Structure 1
Amino acid sequence: MLILNVISKLILNYIQVKKMARSAKIVSTGAYIPPIVVTPEEYEKMYGVKVDPNFVERTNVRIKRIAPPGETPATMAAKAAQMAIENAGLDIKDIDYIILGTDTFEAIAPPTSPKVQYLLGGHKYEIPTLDIGASCAGSVYLLDVAQSFIRANEKYNNILVIGVYAMTRYLRNKFMWEWLFSDAAVAAVVSASEEPGYLATKLRADGSFWDYWGIYFGPTKNVGELIKENPDIIYLDLRKAYPPVNEMYWPKLIEAVMQEGRFTKDDITQILFTQVRLQTIQTVMKELGLPLEKTHWVMDKYGYTGNTSALLALHDALANGKVEKGKVVVFVQSGVGYQQGAIAFRWI
């Protein structure tokens, strides 16, 4: 009897150790890049809005990508997701959960992710879905939710995360700052791993900035009355300028995940930021004492693509051979509301 009790305890201890060892890793990416490309000169001809060359130099947003008629957030998301699934060597039936992040949803209701599930053929397997609204910090939040689900629950082995951005549909094209925004979709498959992939996350938010920048159309009163009072309420509105929160907090977020994840600057292969302003990325890398070779930017090729941008930078960095196996990839993002976050994975 004593021997049986000892054996039982050893088995339970083994099971607990195995559960504690369960981790999550990014195994693939996919992207949808709209084919319509607009230059600053073409934008001025189309809308009579001149894009200041200094603005282009600061941001490094040199073109605008626009989704063609017929594409919607769901169709763009499905195309990026299908590529990620194929790049992982999987089929839709292998996916245990679909999590989609955006601030340009297909509709206020129902959520967008079930439609994407259907477009992928996932309805045949009743794959659960979830929408997340974390604005332009979305990729970090998506990855954090996915790794949390995988590490906490053994029935989730492959989670498909998707970011989609269709902000050009919310523009009036009357102001120069609207030049920034493009459309895109990106996806990644996050899978269970016995080898440590996920390392650390640091999230933060400050709701005192909620009314600075956004699309403020919602049921604060009868929506018909809202539109009658202000027809422009359905469009993106920059009400106040943000202080330099990225310069202030991105280094702190990176240092926080380095400390929690127990890795050093030498372990980092890439730090991938929200792709809104190249000068900010350069400033932060200099403050961290890291060479620009350890980051990657895509706003010059794709425009600013909001919540998709950090994962889109990963997708492009992988295509260009810039991600070193065994090293650490850090994602750092900011979004209106406002929300910020960093998450670190070892590339295994």
Structure 2
Amino acid sequence: MPIRAARIIGTGSYLPEQILSNAELASRLDTTDEWIRSRTGISERRIAAPGEYTSDLACNAAQQALQMAGITADSLDFILVATTTPDLVFPATAVRVQRKLGATKRQMPACDVQAVCAGFIYALSIGDSLIRSGSAQRVLVIGAETMSRAIDWQDRATCILFGDGAGAAILEATTESDHAILSTHLYADGQYEDLLRTPGGISHGLLLDPSSGSGLLHMRGNEVFKQAVKALEEVVDQTLAANGLDKAQIDWLVPHQANIRIIQSTAKRLGMTMDRVVLTVNRHGNTSAASVPLALDEAVRDGRIQPGQLLLLEAFGGGFTWGSALLRW
């Protein structure tokens, strides 16, 4: 019996209209455009409009992916939304996306995945497993965030980093394992939670409250940077070893867009020049779970990614959570 694998048949993305530049931030905070760019690589980021929610961003990205794949939402078997900024505590943002896409007729399952910036990699791995096991034929995987709603805009160490957006990918079962997801690798280490977190939460009896700082992002940047570089170097080596590949065989690195220095470190580990790395951090900032699918969709649509090429996707996020996906396009 042929081995089932999952291939990506469509990608999509969405960015809110509002652009927040470094210059505008510098007019509000003790910072400069040069300071932000030299330390992060970011020049601007997108901000969701009032009344524009994570599910709205997710739906726009999903519709683009469906259009590229040439299928309808009712032909899906599962919807996964990776997000750390859901519309509501419940129901899941994925359920709201299902309704907005008009995909309720078959009552397909839908749920959220919360692994912060590594969320899309986690959700992609789950989707891949659903297809490999025969539980699904088609899975919609979305990374969507409105990180601007969880930011302290007076904290220059964090507010310069994050933006809003959504990216999507549609997985479909295939027996052509040479053009599919080859492997995924997921990790977590909860002992570092205090380095990157949002204080408060329902079981603490606290919800989002900007006046008290509850629910707003707190980060110890230098320590996060050190752990991210180490973890991503290890996951690159582990992914290559698991597939019996040499680093020179990777055609494209599609990384989480957190910080240009972290991305450069991973590229160096792979012996890659930066022209083989998909970069959007300068225009998008850190969009958490949305960053990898946003970068992937851009490189697919502009023709950089071609059939037969080998792609390494990786991400690192709060928790800490991190992971990678290796796929042949």
Match of 1:156 in 2: 136
Offset of residue 52 of structure 1: 5.8
> More displaced, 248-257 or 62-71?
248-257
| 2:192 maps to 1:212 | no
Distance 2:209 2:140 in 1: 36
Letter in 2 for 1:163: G
Q: What number of residue pairs does the alignment pair up? A: 325
Distance 2:247 2:302 in 1: 21
Distance 1:289 1:221 in 2: 46
Distance 1:214 1:337 in 2: 8
Match of 2:173 in 1: 192
Change (3 A) 1:279 1:239: closer
Match of 1:123 in 2: 104
Match of 1:56 among 26, 29, 37: 37
Match of 1:340 in 2: 322
Letter in 1 for 2:185: K
Change (3 A) 1:71 1:227: closer
- Percentage identity across paired residues of the two chains: 29
Match of 2:128 among 130, 139, 147: 147
Asked whether the equivalents of residues 329 and 344 of structure 1 are also in contact (C-alpha less than 8 Å), the reply is yes
Distance 1:115 1:50 in 2: 39
Match of 2:21 among 34, 39, 42: 39
Asked whether the equivalents of residues 77 and 137 of structure 2 are also in contact (C-alpha less than 8 Å), the reply is yes
Distance 2:33 2:22 in 1: 9
Over the aligned positions, Cα root-mean-square deviation in angstroms equals 1.9
Change (3 A) 1:123 1:244: same
Offset of residue 172 of structure 1: 2.5
Q: Could you list the per-position Cα deviations for residues 274-333 of structure 1 after superposition, in whole angstroms to 9, with x for gaps in the alignment?
A: 111112212221232122222110011222211111121111111222113112111110
Match of 2:271 in 1: 289
Match of 2:295 in 1: 313
Letter in 1 for 2:199: Y
Distance 1:227 1:61 in 2: 27
Match of 1:329 in 2: 311
Unaligned runs of 5+ in 1: 1-16
Offset of residue 55 of structure 1: 3.1
Distance 1:222 1:97 in 2: 33
Distance 1:100 1:141 in 2: 10
Unaligned runs of 5+ in 2: none
> More displaced, 96-105 or 293-302?
293-302
Distance 1:134 1:222 in 2: 22
Offset of residue 63 of structure 1: 0.4
Offset of residue 239 of structure 1: 5.3
Change (3 A) 1:239 1:58: closer
Match of 2:8 in 1: 26
TM-score normalised by length of structure 1: 0.88
Asked whether the equivalents of residues 61 and 180 of structure 1 are also in contact (C-alpha less than 8 Å), the reply is yes
Distance 2:220 2:240 in 1: 35
Letter in 2 for 1:118: R
Letter in 2 for 1:208: Q
Distance 1:122 1:315 in 2: 23
Asked whether the equivalents of residues 120 and 293 of structure 2 are also in contact (C-alpha less than 8 Å), the reply is yes
| 2:303 maps to 1:303 | no
Match of 1:73 in 2: 54
Asked whether the equivalents of residues 36 and 160 of structure 2 are also in contact (C-alpha less than 8 Å), the reply is no
Computing the radius of gyration over CA atoms, which structure comes out larger, 1 or 2?
1
| 2:114 maps to 1:133 | yes
Distance 1:299 1:117 in 2: 29
Pick the structure with more helix per residue.
1
Change (3 A) 1:227 1:165: closer
Asked whether the equivalents of residues 163 and 187 of structure 1 are also in contact (C-alpha less than 8 Å), the reply is yes
